[in-house]
C-alpha cells in the first residue's frame, strides 16, 4: 500500500529565505504525487502535481517540486518565502486506479518577518 511521510511537522523560515518541505513516499507502482496547501479555515488547494514526464514540476505561487524516483522523494521548494506562504502543506500520493488519495501528516510553514 502507498504511504507518504512528511518530515517536520513545523518549518520556520525568514521572509525571503528558501522554503524546503520534505516528502517521501512508498509505492509499488509509478506514483502520482501532489502537493496541496491549506490556509486557515479553508479547504485544500492544489499547488502542483506530478503524473508522468518532466520530473521538475512547477506550481502556483512560485512553488516547484522535483520527483526523484531513486530517493522516493517529492520535496517542495520555493526560492524566496513570502509572508502569505504561511499555511499547512500536504503531500499526497494517489493509489492508482482506486480513486484514493493518501495524504501525509502535513507541515506547517511559518514565515518570520
Q: Which CB, 36 or 63, lies closer to another protein?
A: 36
Taking CA atoms, 75 is separated from 22, 28, 40, 41, 42, in Å, by: 5, 19, 22, 25, 23
Cα angle, residue 71 at apex, residues 68 and 76 outer, rounded to 5°: 55
Q: Is 99 in the site for another protein (CB under 8 A)?
A: yes
Q: Is 7 in the site for another protein (CB under 8 A)?
A: no
Q: Is 106 in the site for another protein (CB under 8 A)?
A: yes
Q: Which positions lie near another protein, rule CB under 8 A?
A: 32, 34, 36, 38, 41-46, 49, 51, 88, 90, 94-103, 105-106, 108
Amino acid at each position: 500500500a502507498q504511504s507518504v511521510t512528511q518530515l517536520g511537522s513545523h518549518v520556520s523560515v525568514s521572509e525571503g529565505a528558501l522554503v524546503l518541505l520534505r516528502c517521501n513516499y512508498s509505492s509499488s507502482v509509478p506514483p502520482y504525487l501532489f502537493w496541496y496547501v491549506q490556509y486557515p479555515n479553508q479547504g485544500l488547494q492544489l499547488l502542483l502535481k506530478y503524473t508522468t514526464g518532466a520530473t521538475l514540476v512547477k506550481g502556483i505561487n512560485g512553488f516547484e517540486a522535483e520527483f526523484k524516483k531513486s530517493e522516493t522523494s517529492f520535496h517542495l521548494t520555493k526560492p524566496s518565502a513570502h509572508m502569505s506562504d504561511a499555511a499547512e502543506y500536504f503531500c499526497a500520493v494517489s493509489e492508482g486506479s482506486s480513486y484514493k488519495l493518501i495524504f501525509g501528516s502535513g507541515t506547517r510553514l511559518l514565515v518570520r518577518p
